[in-house]
Structure 1
Amino acid sequence: MTKDLRIKSQVFSDEKRAPNRAMLRAVGFTDEDFLKPQVGIASTWSEVTPCNIHINELAVRAKQGAKEAGAAPLIFNTITVSDGISMGTEGMRYSLPSRDLIADSIETVVGGESLDGFVAIGGCDKNMPGCMMAIARMNLPSVFVYGGTIKPGKLEGKDLDIVSVFEGVGQYNSGAIDSQELTKIECHACPGAGSCGGMYTANTMASAIEALGMSLPGSSSNPAETDEKRNDCFDAGQAVYHLLEKNIRPRDILTKEAFENAITVVMALGGSTNAILHLMAIAHSADVDLSLEDFNKLQKKVPHIADLKPSGKYVMQDLHDVGGVTAVMKLLLKEGYLHGDCLTVTGKTLAENLAEAEDLKEGQKVILPLDQPLRANGPLVVLKGNLAPEGAVAKVSGLKVTRITGPAKVFDDEESATKAILADEIVEGDVVVIRYEGPKGGPGMPEMLSITGILVGKGLGDTVALLTDGRFSGGSHGFVIGHIAPEAQVGGPIALIQNGDIVTINSEEQILNVEVSDEEFEERRKSWTPPPLLERGYLAKYSRLVSSASKGAVTDYFEE
C-alpha cells in the first residue's frame, strides 16, 4: 500500500486513538480496516422524489466497489428537495438554498470524520451541484455519480414527462383539454425512479459534470433503473481508490479549460439556464475564475445540435440509446470544440477516454450534424442593459422570435402574476415582470415552471416575454429571462420599473433595456424601500449570506 493511502492507519496506530477505533468497531470495522483508506459514500437517497428514491441501492453498489478495491467505505446521507413537487408553492424557496446546505453537510461529514476520499451520488437538480461544490471545496480524491434519468411516460403513443403536466394545466385553462385528459397526463407522466427526462436541469448538470471530468464516461446518460447505472456506481467506488493511489484530486481536474468543456457541452445540448448558476458556484468552490462573459464567449462559437425537450422532441433515454453524452463529446472533440488534454477521474485525459468511446449511431435523429444545427450558436444567452447591469440569462432554443418590445406588467410575486395570466389579463406583446424573487428577496430565487407552462399551454409562449430576478426550471421554454441582477431586493433597476414602461429584449444583440432614463430611475429610488427580510430560520440566514446571481448565488462569497 502506498504512503498516500496510509492516512487512516497512521491516525489509528496511536494508542490514544483506542476510543476512535472502538467507535468504528461498533459499525463493523476490523483490525484490517484500520490499515485502509476510509472512503465516504455521500448518498442523497430520499423517498420525497422519484429522482432519488433508488439511490440507496446505488450507494450500496458504490460501497461494494470501493471495498473490493481495497478501501474501508462508509455510507452517509444528505438531504434533497424535489423541485417538481415544490414548484409553484412556498416550498420552492427552499430549492436553491438546499444546494448550499447539501454542500455544507457533505463538507461537514467528510471534514468531521477525516475521510480520505468520497463518492457522491446525486439525482435531483440541486443535490448534484451541491455534491460538486463539496467535492471542489474538500479537494480530496472524489468521484461524482449521477443517479440517472427516468424513463419517458407513455400516453396514446406519445412520450410524456413532468413538463407535459405543467403545460397540461395551461391547456386545461384555455379549454384545449378537459379534466379527464389532464388526469391521464398526470397519471402517466412519471413511470418510475430517475430524474426528469428532458434536457432539464438534472440531465444538464449530469452532462456538464461528465464534461468536467468528474464522473466516469457514460455516467450522465445511463438511465436510473438499469444495470448500466448500477455498474456505474460500482466502478465509481473502484475509481476513487485508484485516485487515492495516484493522489489525483478534484482541483487537478477542475481547471478553467474543464469548465469551458462543460459550458460547450451544455450549449451543444441546449441545457438549462440553471447550468450557468451552478457552474459558477462550482467554479467558486474550486477557486476557478469563471464569469458570465465566459458563457457568452462560448455561446457565440458552439452550435446547438440536440433535438431534446423542452424545446425539442427527444428525451435523455433517446440520447442514451444512440450513444449518449460521451458520443456527443467525441463528436465535439473531433471538430475542435473541446480541450482534449484535460485530466479526468479515470486518471486519463478526456481525449484518451473518448478514443475508447463509441460514435453516435448511424441514422440517429437526436443529435444533428454540426454543419446542420438547430442554431448556429448556443441557446443560453447572457443579456445586459439598464434593466440588468450585472446580467440576465435567457434560453432561446425553439423560439420563433428574437426580439420583443412591449409594455411592462409588473408583479411583486409569482402568485399574483399567475392569477393575472389565468384571468386572461396578459395579452400578446406584454412583458410580464416578476420581481422580489431573487436570491435574497425570494428568498431562495424560486423557479417558475408553473407560470411558463401555463403561458405555453395558453399559446402565449412566443408572444409574451417573462422577466424575473428569480429562476426558471430547466423544463421552461418560451421567451423567458431570469437571473436579472442586481435583484429587486438590493435596489436593482427591476425594483424601480412600473406598469407601462417599455421594455426591449433582443437576444441577438444580447440587450435587456427599459425606456427609463437614469434621472427618472434616481427619482423613483427616492420613494423606494426594500421589503423586510425574514427574521428566523434557514431562509433568514440564507438571505443575508447569499451573493448575487451573477456570482452564482453562493453563500461563501466574501468581498475583501
Structure 2
Amino acid sequence: MSFRSNFTPGTTRWAVRRAQWIAMGIDEADFEKPKIAVVNSSSGLSVCFQHLDAVAETVKKAIRDAGGLPFEIRTVAPSDFVTSAGKQGRYLMPSRDLLVNDIEVQVEGAELDGMILLSSCDKTTPAHLMAAGRLNVPAIILPCGFQLGSNCGGRDNDIEEVYKAVGAVKAKKMTLCELKEMTRNAIHGPGVCAGLATANSMHCMAEALGMALPGNAPIRAGSAELDTYARKAGARIVALVEQDIRPRSILTPASFRNAVRVATSIGCSVNVVRHLTATAAEAECDVDILAEFAAAVELPQITQIRPNGPDRIEQFAVAGGVSGAMAMLLPKLDGSVRTVSGATLADNLAARPAPDPEIIRPLDAPFRNEPGLVIVRGNLAPDGSVVKLSAVPPSVRRFRGQAIVFENEADAIDAIESGQVCAGKVVILRMLGPKGGPGTVFAASFMAALVGAGLGADVAVVTDGELSGLNSGITIGQIMPEAAERGPLAAVEDADMVTIDLEARTITLEITDQDLATRIDALPQRARTDERGWLAMYQKLVQPLSKGAILRVDE
C-alpha cells in the first residue's frame, strides 16, 4: 500500500529520513510499513502518568506485530493537581491547547500515518480528541485508567476526600495532622482521580464518541485489562490506517449527540461541555453542543458515581462502564454511528456483557428523574452556563441570596475562614476565565473548601473559572460570556440579589435590564495582562468559552 509517510526515492526528504532511521537501527524492510505515532503524555511529576511508559511499550509491540512501525512521541503532560500550583492554575486550560499543537507539530511535521493517544489526566483526553479532529489522520484514543483510593481512620479515602478536607481544616473541623494522614493513604497505584471527575468523564466521552475501543472506559490503571486494551489498540490502529478510516468519519453530529446524552445521564464533569465543544470545532463538525445539552433535559440519571452519589468508579467499571450505560440508553442513541472498532455502536454494544442494573439503571427505573448536567441561562449568563445537577443536593433547586464578589480565589477561601462567606450568600468568582486569567483559573479549590466547611448546600457559587469534576454543591460554572469579555458577571456588585432556579434552568441578577446595561457600559477597560510568554499568547488567541475556548488567529 502507499502511505503518505513513504517519500519518493531520490528526494531530499527520502534520503535524509532514511539516513536518520538507519542510524537508529531501524530495519530497512520496515521503511515501507505504516508509521504510527504512539503519543505518550508521560511525566515524572504526577501519579496520573506513572504507568504510561509501560503502556507505550505494550502498544508499540502490538503495532509491530500487526505490521506497523511505531514511533513514540513525548508531549507536554499537564496534571490538574500538580500543574495547577503555578499562577493559581492558569496554565491548566492553556496546556490543553498547547498539547494539541504539540501533537500537530510532531505528527504532521513527520507526516506519520496514524496515531494512538495514551490519555490520562484531565487535559490530555480532550487535547487528544481535538488533535484527532484537527489532523484527521487515523487515530485511537486509549484511556489509561483510574487510580484506587484506600481507607483512613475506618473511612473511605481518596483524592476527593483530601480535596474536601482542606475546607474542613479551614473551618477547624479537622486538624492538620488528620489531613496529613489522609494524604498518606489517599492514592494507591497509578492513574487519574477516582470518581466521575473530568479525567474519567473524558475517558468515557472518548468511548461514547466512538474514538476508543468498546469497553475501554473506565478502566483501572496498571491492570491486566488495560494491558489487553493496549494490545488491541496497537493492532487496530494499523487496520485503521490500511482501511483509511479517519476521525472525521467518526466524529459526526450523531456521535456528539450520543456523547452529550451519555454525559447527561451518567452525570459527567461540567468540563465535558467545553471539551466536547472544542473537539467539534477542531473536527469542523457542524453541531451545537450547548443546544444538544439543552435538548437532553428529558434524560434521567442512571448512575450515581462519586461525587454524584455513593458508588465508586471501580464499581461502575465492573458493572459495564460507559458501554453498559450506552446499552441502557440505546433507545435514545443513534446506534448506526461508526466507531474505531470498525463496527457500529449498536454492534459493539450487542457484543458486550449486559450491564449490572444495581449500578447502571435502566431508563424506566433511574436513580433520579432529572439529568446529571444542565445548561442554565439568564441575564447573568446569556450565552449559557453549566450545572452538574447530579452533584447538587436534591433539596436545593431554588436559591436566592446576596452576592459577595471576588476576583481572586485565595481571597474567597480566606473569606470562608473569616466568616464573610456564610449561609445564604452567592459567591461570585469572576475574571477567572480564559481571557480574564489569562488562562482559566482553577476555581475548584474554593468549592471544595466550601463543601469541606459544611457550606456546600447553603452557599451558591457562580464563576467563569474552571471547576473540577470532583466538585459538588450549588455551583454555576462556565458563565458565558466571561467577565473579561464584558459579560454581565463583571457588573455584579456586593449585596446584589441573585436568584438561581434549577428547575426553570435560570440564573437572574435582580436588577432591571436598563440598570444592567448601564453598569456594563460603565465597566472600565481591563488592562491586558502583564504576563509574558505562553499565557500572554494564549490570552490573545483564545476564543470564547461558548466556542470551546480553542485557539484561533483573528481573521
**TM class by smaller structure:** over 0.9
Q: Which amino acid aligns with 1:327?
A: G
Which of the residues 12, 19, 24 maps onto 1:22? Answer: 19
Shift of 1:378: 1.4
1:327 is aligned, of 324, 327, 331, to 324
Q: Secondary structure at the match of 2:305?
A: coil
Match of 1:201 in 2: 198
State whether residues 171 and 416 of structure 2, in contact with CA within 8 Å, keep that contact through their aligned partners in structure 1. no
Match of 2:292 in 1: 295
Deviation per residue, 1:148-205 (Å, 9 max, x gap): 0111222244332211012112222333332332222111111120000100000000
2:354 is aligned with 1:359: yes
Match of 2:244 in 1: 247
Residue 187 of structure 2 corresponds to residue 168 of structure 1:
no
Deviates more, 1:395-404 or 1:257-266: 395-404
Check the 8 A contact 1:299/1:377 in 2, yes or no: no
1:121 aligns with 2:97: no
1:265 aligns with 2:258: no
Q: Which residue of 2 aligns with 1:514?
A: 509
1:491 and 1:52 map into 2 onto residues whose CA distance is 38
d(CA) in 1 for partners of 2:219, 2:25: 32
- 1:42 and 2:35 are equivalent in the alignment: no
Shift of 1:317: 1.3
2:547 maps to a residue whose letter is: K
1:13 aligns with 2:48: no
- Give the percent of matched residue pairs that are identical in Structure 1 and Structure 2: 36
Residue by residue over 1:266-294, the C-alpha shift from the partner in whole angstroms, topping out at 9 and shown as x without a partner, is 11211100000000000001111232543
Letter in 1 for 2:372: P
**Residue 383 of structure 1: CA displacement?**
1.2
Q: Which moved more, 1:223-232 or 1:296-305?
A: 296-305
Q: Is the 8 A contact 1:292 1:382 kept in 2?
A: no
Alignment of 1:82-481 (within 5 A): 82-87=79-84, 90-333=87-330, 336-361=331-356, 365-398=358-391, 399=393, 400-481=395-476
What's the secondary structure of 1:7's corresponding residue? coil
Question: Would the alpha carbon gap of residues 404 and 418 (structure 1) be closer, same or farther in structure 2, given more than 3 Å must change?
Answer: same
SS at match of 2:70: strand
Alignment partner of 1:545 is 2:538: no
**CA 1:180 to 1:535, structure 2 compared with 1: closer, same or farther past 3 Å?**
closer
Distance 1:211 1:29, change over 3 A: same
Following the alignment from structure 2 to structure 1, what is the Cα–Cα distance between the partners of residues 246 and 553? 23
Instruction: Tell me how far 1:349 sits from its aligned partner.
Output: 0.5
Letter in structure 1 aligned against 2:270: T
Which residue does 2:526 correspond to in 1? 530
Question: What secondary structure is seen at the aligned counterpart in 1 of 2:377?
Answer: strand
Paired with 2:468 and 2:5, the residues of 1 have a C-alpha distance of 43
Amino acid at match of 1:116: D
Q: After alignment, is 387-396 or 119-128 more displaced?
A: 387-396
SS of alignment partner, residue 428 of structure 2: strand
CA contact (8 A) 2:149 2:159 kept: no
1:490 is aligned to 2:485? yes
Match of 2:497 in 1: 502
Amino acid of the structure 2 residue aligned with 1:411: F
Once the two structures are superposed, what CA deviation does each residue of 1:46-66 show, in whole Å capped at 9, x if it has no partner?
111111111111111111111
Aligned-partner Cα distance in 2 for 1:264–1:68: 37
Query: 1:557, CA displacement in angstroms?
Result: 7.1
Q: Secondary structure at the match of 2:5?
A: helix
Task: Tell me the secondary structure at the aligned position of residue 494 of structure 2.
Answer: coil
Unaligned segments of structure 2, at least 5 residues:
none
Rate the CA distance shift 1:15–1:278 in 2: closer, same or farther, 3 A: closer
Please tell me the residue identity of whatever aligns with 1:132.
Answer: L
- CA 1:373–1:394 in 2, change beyond 3 Å: closer, same or farther? same
CA contact (8 A) 2:84 2:90 kept: no
Offset of residue 535 of structure 1 = 4.5
Cα distance in structure 1, aligned partners of 2:11 and 2:429 = 62
Q: Aligned residues, how many? A: 551
* CA distance in structure 2 between the aligned counterparts of 1:533 and 1:225, rounded to whole angstroms: 42
Matches of 1:420 and 1:327, distance apart in 2: 43
TM-score by length of 1: 0.95
Report the 3-state secondary structure (helix = DSSP H, G, I; strand = E; otherwise coil) of the residue aligned with 2:374: strand
Q: Secondary structure at the match of 2:390?
A: coil
What whole-Å deviation, never above 9, does each CA across 1:82-112 have from its counterpart, x for those lacking one? Answer: 1123447525100011000000000110100
> Residue deviations 1:191-236, cap 9 Å, x none?
1200001000000000011010101112112210101111211211
Cα distance between partner residues in 2 of 1:557 and 1:189: 43
Shift, 1:515, TM fit: 1.4
* Alpha-carbon distance in structure 1 between the residues aligned to 2:78 and 2:341: 30
Two-structure CA RMSD over aligned residues (Å): 1.7
Q: Distance in 2 between matches of 1:245 and 1:177?
A: 58
Q: Which amino acid aligns with 2:530?
A: L
Q: Aligned pair in 2 of structure 1 residues 272, 527: CA closer, same or farther (>3 Å)?
A: closer
- TM-superposed deviation, 1:380: 1.2
- Which of 118-127 and 178-187 deviates more? 178-187
